[in-house]
């Protein structure tokens, strides 16, 4: 029997409670091999994202996985960042005051690590991007062949034909660095965008959390501790009975593409004005008579539907079986 090699993935992350969940699910997924974490601002500042990434790997007993620290500023060197500590707690991990990690990030920057790995394993690496897209955009600037060399980029970002979660126009990861997002979407890489139009269908309920709490799984137990802040944010902000599994859904779309369906088209990102961060997919159903900002740009995949019960089940199973 032919044994299929696990898919090599690099998770670009801003941990973050749902990031922690996605990282743990990835470590429990035999279909993939996590070859590195790269860090970015978003849910927390980049320095704290690095600290949390190292901490999560220590919790998992996987300090063999390198962490490369990413950018502290946007692709246009912007320093006024929007940090979602009100979603994840001031420490990004549910205000638990975890001790500082013992480990350190590698010397290489996130962008340099991404470029190096894509060159080492051309066409073989999947980047799962769970935060603003600055590091990926930097990688395309550092190495013009990056878009060609990287296997796939599965990114959590955008709100396709629905309201955003920062404001009615914009989703948080795209809003974090719209210029970088537009560069990545038009880079020519094989991209699958998973937006909140899809992830808002994937809800972990109170009953699911109680089931996690009753299990002996190491990751399930850890997550139950940090999930409180995430649940109370959702109770205040939405009328959903539970929390959205944004990052785990994007991760599982990379692990098992049959969990989602997608459409194809050209995505551009609004980079200024009141709709800064808006993602617009041109679905190619109309042949426009004139040249538009979408003309002659590379096509990407955008997720349309998700098997939400299957995603929730997989997340639960893998966290409980740890």
Ligand X SMILES: O=c1[nH]cnc2c1ncn2[C@@H]1O[C@H](CO)[C@@H](O)[C@H]1O
What is the DSSP pairing of strand 279-282 with strand 260-269? Answer: antiparallel
Nearer to ligand X, 207 or 237 (CB): 237
> Does position 322 bind ligand X by CB under 6 A?
no
Distance of alpha carbon 135 from alpha carbon 129, whole angstroms: 9
Q: Is 252 in the site for ligand X (CB under 6 A)?
A: no
Task: For strands 191-194 and 300-306, give the pairing.
Answer: parallel
Question: Which one is catalytic: 179, 190, 246, 247?
Answer: 246
- Part of the chain binding ligand X (CB under 6 A), chosen from 32-40, 46-54, 138-146, 163-171: 163-171
Residues 6+ apart with CB under 8 A from 32: 6, 7, 8, 9, 26, 126, 254, 255
Least distance (Å) from ligand X to the CB of residue 178? 14
Our CB check for ligand X shows the closer of 12 and 143 to be 12
At 152, give phi and psi (nearest 5°). Answer: -150, 150
Count the residues of the shown chain that bind ligand X, applying the rule CB under 6 A: 15
Q: What residue number has its CB nearest to ligand X?
A: 172
Site string for ligand X, 262-301 (x = CB under 6 A): ----------------------------------------
| Per-residue mark of binding to ligand X, 43-72 (x: CB under 6 A) | x-----------------------------
Query: Of 138 and 229, which has the nearer Cβ to ligand X?
Result: 229
Of 14, 18, 19, 182, which is the active-site residue?
14
Query: Looking at 9, 75, 84, 224, which residue binds ligand X (CB under 6 A)?
Result: 84
Q: How far is the CB of 219 from ligand X (least distance, A)?
A: 18
Q: CA-to-CA distance for 163 and 166, rounded, in angstroms?
A: 9
215, 219, 220, 224 alpha-carbon torsion, rounded to 10°: 130
- Interface stretch with ligand X, choices 107-115, 170-178, 251-259, 311-319 (CB under 6 A): 170-178
Cβ partners under 8 Å of residue 37, min gap 6:
10, 11, 12, 13, 23, 53, 57, 65, 66, 67, 68
The yes-or-no answer on residue 14 being catalytic is yes
Using CB under 6 A as the binding rule, the residues of this chain from 86 to 125 that contact ligand X are 87
CB nearer to ligand X: pick between 112 and 155 = 155
Q: Which position among 117, 173, 249, 279 is part of the footprint of ligand X (CB under 6 A)?
A: 173
Q: Name residues whose C-beta falls within 8 Å of residue 218's C-beta, 6 or more positions apart in sequence.
A: 59, 322
- Find the shortest distance in angstroms from Cβ 250 to ligand X: 9
Q: For residue 18, indicate whether it is catalytic.
A: no
| Interface residues toward ligand X, by CB under 6 A | 16, 18, 43, 84, 87, 130, 165-166, 171-173, 196, 237, 246-247
Q: List the catalytic residues.
A: 14, 246
């Amino acid at each position: 029997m032919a044994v299929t090699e696990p898919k090599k993935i690099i998770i670009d992350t801003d941990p973050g409670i749902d990031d922690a969940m996605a990282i743990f699910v990835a470590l429990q997924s035999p279909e993939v091999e996590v070859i590195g974490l790269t860090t970015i601002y978003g849910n927390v500042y980049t320095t704290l994202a690095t600290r949390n990434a190292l901490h999560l790997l220590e919790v998992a007993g996987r300090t063999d996985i390198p962490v490369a620290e990413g950018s502290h500023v946007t692709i246009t060197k912007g320093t006024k960042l929007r940090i979602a500590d009100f979603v994840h707690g001031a420490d990004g991990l549910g205000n638990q005051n975890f001790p500082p990690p013992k480990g350190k990030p590698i010397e290489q920057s996130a962008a340099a690590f991404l470029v190096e790995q894509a060159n080492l394993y051309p066409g073989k690496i999947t980047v799962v991007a769970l935060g603003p897209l600055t590091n990926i955009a930097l990688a395309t600037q550092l190495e013009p062949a990056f878009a060609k060399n990287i296997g796939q980029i599965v990114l959590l970002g955008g709100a396709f034909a629905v309201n955003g979660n920062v404001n009615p126009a914009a989703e948080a990861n795209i809003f974090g660095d719209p210029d970088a997002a537009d560069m990545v979407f038009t880079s020519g890489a094989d991209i699958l965008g998973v937006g909140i139009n899809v992830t808002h269908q994937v809800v972990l309920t109170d009953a699911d959390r109680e089931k996690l709490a009753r299990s002996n799984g190491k990751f399930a137990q850890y997550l139950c501790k940090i999930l409180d802040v995430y649940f109370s944010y959702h109770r205040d902000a939405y009328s959903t009975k539970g929390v959205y599994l944004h990052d785990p859904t994007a991760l599982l779309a990379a692990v098992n593409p049959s969990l989602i369906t997608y459409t194809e088209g050209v995505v551009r990102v609004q980079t200024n004005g009141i709709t800064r961060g808006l993602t617009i997919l041109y679905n190619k159903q109309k042949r426009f008579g004139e040249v538009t900002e979408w003309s002659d740009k590379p096509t990407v995949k955008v997720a349309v539907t998700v098997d939400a019960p299957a995603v929730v089940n997989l997340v639960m199973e893998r966290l409980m079986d740890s």
